[in-house]
Structures are given as structure tokens and as C-alpha cells.
Structure 1
Amino acid sequence: MAGTQPQPPGPGASSEQVEERSRWWWWIVVVAVAAAVVLLVVQPWAEHQTEPPPGSTPSSASDVPSTPSSAPSPTTSTPAPVPGADAVFDETTLPTLFVTDADLVAAVPAAASSPLQPGIGAGELPWGLPSGSTIEPASCTTAATVVADEPEAFDARSSSNEAVDWAQRVTVLDDGSDARAAFADLVTTVDACPEYSQVNPGIDGSSWVAQPAIEGQGAYPSIVQERTHQAEGSTLPEYRGHMLVGNTIVTWTATALAADADPDAALATLGDPSTLNAMVQARAQQAVGGLG
């Protein structure tokens, strides 16, 4: 537009006018050059690419579109095998599962109060109930006999003094599978039988009232329960436990003999049931280790 373009100085223009018009031309040139540079850089007419063309290789890691990282796949932990879960005992090796008098003295306060005397010896107690005896209710029979049918091998031991009677039985099944099934049946029976009695022909029987069994801690599956044993006019508190070791079920009973004592005080002389279970567990681990 002619009206906006600076005109060259006409004849007779003063030096100030000439200088001012020169400055205008200088600024116009600068602005024009700057505009050209911007247009060359930006190129508004050119198509912009926000992603590399197909087949091109990104020049740097920052050019690679980010993808969400996949979550780690869940892993299933395999339980550690129980030491001795496949152990096989027989009538010649089952005696190694019995705790010793030294074990009792070290773990049971009442056992350390006076010397222990042997009670039941090797081979003296046959498996099962005495001839003619029954358990009532009959559904609780295995709570007393441990297994329903005569096992492959069986033996028992006991020791006592004036304060405690310790009895232990080892029941040997054909193999580990039979023992696991028998132990599961035993646990079910114990849970279902908080009270049961042994009826003996011609003599007084015994009865037991039991608290719910708790799971024992250790290498081998086990349960422990608090019971009250009534026999021949006496009421005695005791702990009874069962443990699965390979193809055997180890059963133990610790009875406090202080008949006139408060039940809680009498139980305290036996120590904590977890300590009793730990003692039996430790002996079992040694027995398993000795199998070779």
C-alpha cells in the first residue's frame, strides 16, 4: 500500500529527514529477515510428524513410545518337604521314637522332682483295648486305640514318680500313605469326641473329658489337647498328644498325679504343652536321622 510505504527523500529534504528515513528502511529489512527465518523453521505449510514413519528406526530411547510394563507373573511356592515324611520304621527301629527319662527330666518339671521309675516295658502292652472292654460312644474308639485295626507293629513305654506319669505309644502302619490316612481319621475322631468312657467288665472303668485339640508346632504334624481323666475315684488333669512321623503315629500322655491339687496348679507341674510336644518332636527327628 503506497500510503504506508516510506517515500525516498525528495529534493531539498533536510539531513535529519534523510537520516530518519534511512532508519525506517533499516528496521523494515530487519523485520523482513526475521520473518523469513521463522517461516523457514516452522514451515506451517509442511505436514508435522509426531511418530516416526513406518519402517523407520527411532534415533534414541526417548523416541520409542512407552508401553506399560507387564506385571510379574505370580509364582506358586512349593512347601518345603517335611524331614522324615517318607521315613519307614519297623518293629526293630520303632523304639528309637520313645523319649528317654533324661528327656523327661530336662523338659517336665514334675519329672525332675524325684527319680523316675520304669512302668510299662518293651512288649508288655498289647495294642487295643483289654478283652471285653469297649469305648462309649463306639464312634470314639480310635480316640483310645489310635487306629481302628491292628497295626503292622506296636509298642509302649511308661515312666512315673510321685508327681507325673508319662506314657507313650508308637503305632506303625504299612506305609506313609496308610499312616497319613489313619492320622487324619484320628484327628477327626478326637475333634468329635470331647467326652468318652472305657467300660471294663467287672471293674471300674475310666472316662475322659477333653478340651479342643490344638495344632502342635514342629517338623511333624501333631495335635495336643488338655484332658481330665477320671478313674477309681480320682480326677487327674493331663495333656495328650499325637504326632505323625513317616509310617508311624506317636501318642503320648503326661498325667499330673497331684490328686488334691488345684487342676491348674497340677497342670503347671507338667510344663507347657508346647514344650512337651517339642520334646517328642526332637526325639523323632533324632530317630529319623538314625535311619540312615
Structure 2
Amino acid sequence: MSGTDPRTPDARGRSRWWWVLAVVAVVVGLALLVVQPWEGIETEPQVTGTHASETTTPATPSPTPTETTPAPPPGSDARFDAKTLATLFVPPQQLVADVPAAAPGVVPGVTAGSRPWGLPAGSTVTPSTCTTAVTVVAAKPAAFDARSWTNPGFAFEQSVTLLPTPAAAQTAFSRLVTTIDACPTFTVTTTSGATDPWDAQPAIEGQGVYPSIVQQVLRGTAQTPGFHGQMLVGNAIVTWTASAPGGTDTDSALATLGDPLSLSAMVQKQAVAAVATLP
């Protein structure tokens, strides 16, 4: 029949559904693009300069500098014996040259072999824990000797205490310094009841090659001013006291002895010379 759609009603309905489906498909596709914004964006990190398969090697830290132990002073392993220890005593001509109070000249007081080690028989030290401040070591040493030189306004006493080895002397010296630090005052009492009080200032470190200390002291009932020192060299501990008896003013008396560090340096100088004479 002319003027009419040759298609049946079912065909026309199916044709309209295809258009609807096409429109729906387009809408869904656009929605996916909106809700999935990561599409088309590169999410892997960019690798530049090297191939992606290569890994970065961590930097190797610089090695930590090794601390070096200072070399011991020459003669720290020196071994003196009963004969060679005499070379550690400062000679009288050196005292006259270095100490103002000795300039007029000196005469010997304590001579070689005349003073034994330790306290006189029956003597005690109070407090007893300060005994080694006087005797240097607690037990009889391998060898010992003492000397002194005097004039009316000056006295210089020196003793040398030998230990079997430098290591033993180092241990003994450490104990001695600890005792001296703990004993600013002490008293030596003899069997007759006579007393010899010591009143010392804190020790300072001496200057020179070998470990040493020096302190200002007032000694005896007359409170004689002076300087007292200890030094370690090899297997020897050298003890010395320079005093100015007879003075009424402590500062003036000490001035006649010179600087305590210069006295310590004088004893150090003699020790260096003594070490040089050892075979």
C-alpha cells in the first residue's frame, strides 16, 4: 500500500532499541573516562641517566681515622741498678748553677749508703694511709740510696728508689701520686716522741721528658718552706726536696729556691743525662 512503512511494527521497535543501546554505550564510555582519570597517565617513575634495570650503588663511607698512641719518652724502659742509680743524683755544681740559695756553695749532708730505705725503727706516720708519701713504696725496693747538700740557708735532699722493672715502677708511681693527692697533711713521729709534720699544697705536674709532680710544702715543727717533687724514669722513682731553712717569711724564703718547675726541670735534665750513660 502506498504511503505506508513497509516494515512491520516489530521491526520498527527493534530499530529504535538499537539506537538506544548505542546512545547508552557512548554515555557509559564517557563516564568511565571521567571516573578513571589515571587512564593514559604514566605512573612508573622516570629513570634518567642510566638504564632502568641498573640499581644505584650506595656511597662507601670514608674510613674513620685511626688514633695513634704517643710514643713513650726515651728512657721510659731504662733499667738502673744499685751502681748506675748514682747517676740520677743532681751534682752540687748543678745546684750552685741553678738554685739561687745554693750559689754561695754547698757541703754534703747525707752521703752514699748512709741512709737506709724506709722509716727509722719505731717511727710511724699519722694517718697510716699516708706512709708511702714518705717511703715511696710499701715494701723494701730492689735498691735505694739518698744524698743531700746544704748550706745555712739551703738544703737539697734526693733519694732514688728502684723497682724490679719499669712496669713495676710505673704502677708504684701511680700509687704514690694517688697517696700524695690524698695526704695534704701528715705527721711522722719517732720513738722519742719527736714529730715531723708535713703540710703540702696540691701537686702540680712537672715539666720535662718524664712523668713528675711537684708541690709546695711546709715541713717540720719550724714549718720550713720548700718544694717537694717525684719523678718516674724507667725502673726508678726519684724523690727530691729543696728547702730554705732559717727564713722568717715564707714567700721570701721560697723565692731563694727559684721556680718549682725550674727545680723539677733540673732533676729531669739529670735524668736525661743518666739514661744516656746506660749501656
1:257 partnered with 2:255? no
What amino acid maps onto 2:262 in structure 1? T
Give the structure 2 partner of residue 222 of structure 1.
212
Of residues 94, 97, 108, the one that matches 1:103 is 94
Q: TM-score, normalised by structure 1?
A: 0.75
> What SS class does the counterpart of residue 250 from structure 1 fall into?
strand
> What SS class does the counterpart of residue 119 from structure 2 fall into?
coil
1:129 partnered with 2:119? yes
Question: Shift in Å at residue 50 of structure 1?
Answer: 3.7
Residues in 2 aligned to 1:169 and 1:220: alpha-carbon distance in whole angstroms: 17
Residues in 2 aligned to 1:155 and 1:84: alpha-carbon distance in whole angstroms: 20
Of residues 187, 191, 194, the one that matches 2:184 is 194
Question: Shift in Å at residue 70 of structure 1?
Answer: 4.6
RMSD: 2.0
Of residues 54, 60, 71, the one that matches 1:80 is 71
Give the structure 1 partner of residue 32 of structure 2.
none
Residues in 1 aligned to 2:215 and 2:116: alpha-carbon distance in whole angstroms: 24
Residues in 1 aligned to 2:124 and 2:157: alpha-carbon distance in whole angstroms: 21
Structure 2 gaps, min length 5:
1-45
Question: Shift in Å at residue 162 of structure 1?
Answer: 1.6
Structure 1 gaps, min length 5:
1-47, 57-64
1:51 partnered with 2:49? yes
Of residues 131, 135, 144, the one that matches 1:141 is 131
Residues in 2 aligned to 1:82 and 1:238: alpha-carbon distance in whole angstroms: 29
Question: Shift in Å at residue 198 of structure 1?
Answer: 0.7
Q: Deviations over 1:163-198 (max 9, x none)?
A: 210000000111112111111110111011011001
Residues in 1 aligned to 2:53 and 2:277: alpha-carbon distance in whole angstroms: 70
Residues in 1 aligned to 2:73 and 2:228: alpha-carbon distance in whole angstroms: 23
Of residues 235, 255, 272, the one that matches 1:285 is 272
Residues in 2 aligned to 1:180 and 1:158: alpha-carbon distance in whole angstroms: 25
Question: Shift in Å at residue 77 of structure 1?
Answer: 1.8
Residues in 2 aligned to 1:82 and 1:49: alpha-carbon distance in whole angstroms: 61
Preserved CA contact (<8 Å) 1:235 1:259: no
Number of equivalenced pairs: 233
1:238 partnered with 2:226? yes
Give the structure 2 partner of residue 42 of structure 1.
none
Give the structure 1 partner of residue 19 of structure 2.
none
Q: Deviations over 1:25-63 (max 9, x none)?
A: xxxxxxxxxxxxxxxxxxxxxxx984144799xxxxxxx
Preserved CA contact (<8 Å) 1:142 1:148: yes
Question: Shift in Å at residue 230 of structure 1?
Answer: 2.2
Q: Deviations over 1:270-291 (max 9, x none)?
A: 0001100100001001101110
Of residues 253, 262, 268, the one that matches 1:266 is 253
Residues in 1 aligned to 2:142 and 2:71: alpha-carbon distance in whole angstroms: 29
Give the structure 1 partner of residue 109 of structure 2.
119
Give the structure 1 partner of residue 169 of structure 2.
179
What amino acid maps onto 2:188 in structure 1? Q
Residues in 1 aligned to 2:69 and 2:168: alpha-carbon distance in whole angstroms: 23
